[in-house]
Structure 1
């Protein structure tokens, strides 16, 4: 069902039966959870502490605020964006690998955004927090269509990334880069996205654009979400390449150096679904065309100058905090197979990590709980 709004554009209306899982999805998810648990256990034996099975290495923990814009159009003024206001936020920058690796390696970077003081009916019945989590990555579409595709091919990648050495991964990345630059153009083809992410050069993480990759509910509608640089200092970093021979922790160092001297602003934007055939919910690899529905800003996120990775802040952000896209309002419920997979995977990983590390599980009620 769609509705017509000013300007003639129509937007798909959310309803409870809008998702269409495969009959074997639960079996696929159970298989994935088992494999990822074995990766968790291996990481614990190797590192003597529990790690996230994704986004294991942090690059900075930021304190800031999110301002919901005044005067939003009705289709944008949904859920926590229904009325103008300001919320505290805590953000964690990361690499999406489940292993602690050198920042010289190419790959996808992540952003966990925790908005504090968000009240209303929750996506999960046992969630009593007043926080809204959004998880985004630097790759626009997810690399696998659904849980079935991930269980068949994605788990091979996850298994290998948990076990191969940095040296082996760097050699593989350089070989793929050479193949992509010299051979594939002659053949008129290109690397699949699942491999291309290991070829793209590393860029400054504060200049990157972050995407939800998979859709989520937006009150009466359905959207994908992204975060884009806004202030001149971070806009200037967009596309800036990190040194190929940089430090092992180059991302964290670059974030520390930036926020020692500068504040930063970003725009939080949503892209409304206008056509379920062209902008599907269940296939997370399908690009939603900007021509069908452009991204539109719903909020501004501001980070002041700060120390981003003190030992106390690192311990709190990397060990105590968890980020889960299912922790939040039902009005922003994650949608589609990949998000239903994440519901099980994120919770299982967090439970294991906190248990073996003897770390408390808590949701901050106030931004002052984040150490300076």
Structure 2
């Protein structure tokens, strides 16, 4: 599969980068630049990833080649570009950084060791299924109601708007949600997959016994991890059909059943303290900080490579003053 960036894509990506940089410059003071999306962090947590020992030979690829246990950093977040109440409908994010992975990586991780990053959200799709549409959507999202109105009046954008609203929901507990990789990824030399993270206990809810605050998701996460371990299982959906499982168009949900490949464990812990919160804010994640066997695939992933790198460098530079 050709996964290179052509001249048209390059132009669109550079426009996206400049749009996001302008938004960040207009929104935050120097020294406190946050992420363009997922700026509200609920918590930065320690965990472990256990690769299962019963995988079929076809799935023994890359990180999943053999049974092993890895330390991970986890960052839970809200997706919208502006920090808002947890009571609002939105997407939630879970970024996973698997540490000290064996093999050759595509990009070095700023943390200083070989890493495999997974960037996941509660939406099974990325509603702007192409770089061109994403370029238009991002301008509408970031720069006020007039741009949003113009975007919304175009019938070519209605499907994207419908999908965005469909998958923007209220959530009571971050540990009870399914998370999805959105884009597709290589899985060894001749397979492609999407990753799905399913909770071990999907019945967890809001249990604090008081009215929800604007930050109740962090408060609930702290309560749930005070004395009890929680977990997720990672599944892969293996690509077989370009029509039902397109590699380029991220707006089409893959429906096929996943195969379990690993378990993610989050032990009981205290994570809400100044040093950890600063560390979590400083962490950067990119799907391209990964093993070659898990190369990100498709236009949106190609855009993310340049966009995430530029914006991470911007935060690092501006926040060091």
Q: Same fold (TM over 0.5)?
A: yes
Equivalent in the alignment of 2:277: 314
| Aligned pair partner of 1:142 in 126, 130, 147 | 126
**1:260 & 1:326 partners in 2: Cα distance?**
33
Structure 1 contact 226–270 (Cα < 8 Å) conserved: yes
- Say if 1:87 and 1:115, in contact at 8 Å, map to a contact too: yes
SS of 2:279 mapped into structure 1: helix
In structure 2, the residue matched to 1:344 is: 306
3-state SS of 1:62 partner: strand
Matched, 1:281 2:247: yes
What is aligned with 1:357? 319
Q: Indicate yes or no: 2:2 matched with 1:35.
A: no
Asked if 1 retains the 8 angstrom alpha-carbon contact of 2:38 and 2:79, the reply is: yes
Q: Is the 8 A contact 2:179 2:196 kept in 1?
A: yes
Equivalent residue number for residue 153 of structure 2: none
CA contact (8 A) 1:51 1:99 kept: no
- Cα deviation digits, residues 27-52 of structure 1 (max 9, x gap): 1111111100001112223x861101
In 1, distance between residues paired with 2:20 and 2:86?
23
- Aligned partner of 1:297 in structure 2 is 260
Superposition pairs of residues 77-92 of structure 1, within 5 angstroms: 77-92=60-75
Specify which of 174, 180, 194 is matched with residue 224 of structure 1.
Answer: 194
Could you list the per-position Cα deviations for residues 261-288 of structure 1 after superposition, in whole angstroms to 9, with x for gaps in the alignment? 2110110111000112321111000121
Compute the TM-score of the two structures, normalised by the length of structure 1: 0.76
Could you tell me which residue of structure 2 aligns to residue 50 of structure 1? 33
Tell me if 1:257 matches 2:214.
no
Q: Which residue of 1 aligns with 2:154?
A: none
Listed as ranges, the matches of 1:1-372 within 5 Å are 17-19=1-3, 24-45=8-29, 49-124=32-107, 129-160=113-144, 192-198=162-168, 200-220=169-189, 221-230=191-200, 234-237=201-204, 246-290=212-256, 294-318=257-281, 320-358=282-320
Runs of 5+ consecutive residues of structure 2 not aligned to the other structure: 149-158
8 Å Cα contact 1:139-1:211 kept in structure 2: yes
Secondary structure of 2:143's partner?
helix
Please give the per-residue CA displacement for 1:222-264, whole angstroms capped at 9, x wherever unaligned: 000011112xxx33227x6999962121111111111002110
User: For 1:146 and 1:129, how far apart are their aligned partners in 2?
Assistant: 32
Deviations 1:153-186 (A, max 9, x none): 343123349x99xxxxxxxxxxxxxxxxxxxxxx
Residues 325-366 of structure 1: per-residue CA shift (max 9 Å, x gap)? 11011111111011111111111111111111118xxxxxxx
Instruction: Compare 47-56 and 327-336 and name the one that shifted more.
Output: 47-56
How many residue pairs get aligned? The number is 308
3-state SS, counterpart of residue 170 of structure 2: coil
2:151 aligned partner: none
Residue pair 1:40, 1:349 contacting (<8 A) in 2 also: no
Aligned to 1:235, the other structure's residue is in SS state coil
> Which protein shows a greater Rg?
1
Structure 1 residue 321: Cα displacement? 1.2
Cα deviation, 1:192-244, whole Å, max 9, x if unaligned, reads 1123344x3333111010000110111131000011112xxx33227x69999
Change (3 A) 1:242 1:215: farther
Question: Distance between the aligned counterparts of 2:278 and 2:314, measured in 1?
Answer: 17
Counterpart Cα distance in 2 of 1:191 and 1:266: 30
Q: Is the 8 A contact 2:31 2:320 kept in 1?
A: no
For residue 148 of structure 1, give the secondary structure of its aligned residue in structure 2: helix
Q: Distance in 1 between matches of 2:77 and 2:196?
A: 16
SS at match of 1:349: helix
Whether contact under 8 Å (2:235, 2:260) holds in the other structure is yes
Q: State the partner residue of 1:362.
A: none
